[in-house]
Amino acid sequence: SPSMAPAGLLQVVKQCVRVPVFVMIRPRGGDFLYSDREVEVMKADIRLAKLHGADGLVFGALTEDGRVDTELCTTLLAVCRPLPVTFHRAFDMVHDPQVALETLISLGFERVLTSGCDSSALEGLSLIKKLTEQAKGRIVVVPGGGITERNLQRILEGSSASEFHCSARSARDSGMKFRNPHVAMGASFSAPEYSVKVADVAKVRTLNAIAKNIL
């Protein structure tokens, strides 16, 4: 979901988990071409995330012609210091992925999340493999996008990736007893008001077991 995890959410998550928590800095949905005002929001979100214990940050920014916005990324990376930073799937919207990868390496990003510039990691598998080979350990290429228990093995083996990203979520029915069928809160296609997306522990365990087998 767009925007930074609210400070309250970040504080509670940090109290509950032992794994590193990376916070996505994304002031809105849509493209990755940001206005000056949005950049101010991103800087403020980074400072708040650091203040509340983020272990790393995640963002991406592009120029109007589909290149990595080196100027803005340099500015934001400076605010993130000394925390590690991941460039997110804005990468999948670049004009030239191989050039973009070198840019990210020179800027100092630690990871890049990508579906191989395709609609899912499975479809972008050949490019993900190319990028992983090009990276030669200088940046971690993390496949993401449509990864499930059914295709994880193919993606890890086919890409030579050492890490992967997936939501591992399933839908849970809302606890609401009273329901108003006449109102939808602005979602397209269907009303999700009485369905809650939650991280599925069983899915996470299965995915981890598959990955441990391969990595």
On whether the CB atoms of residues 63 and 69 are closer than 8 A, the answer is: yes
Could you give all domains of the chain from N- to C-terminal order, each with its CATH number?
7-165 (3.20.20.380)
Partners of residue 197 on adjacent β-strands: 171
**CA–CA distances in Å: residue 115 to residues 13, 16, 167, 215:** 27, 30, 14, 19
Q: How many CB atoms lie within 10 A of CB 31?
A: 11
pLDDT value at residue 168? 93
Residue 147: closest CA among 134, 158, 131, 135: 158
pLDDT tens profile 83-112: 999 999 999 999 999 999 999 999 999 999
Q: Residue ranges of the chain with pLDDT lower than 50?
A: 1-2
Residue 9: closest CA among 48, 56, 57: 48
On whether the CB atoms of residues 61 and 72 are closer than 8 A, the answer is: yes
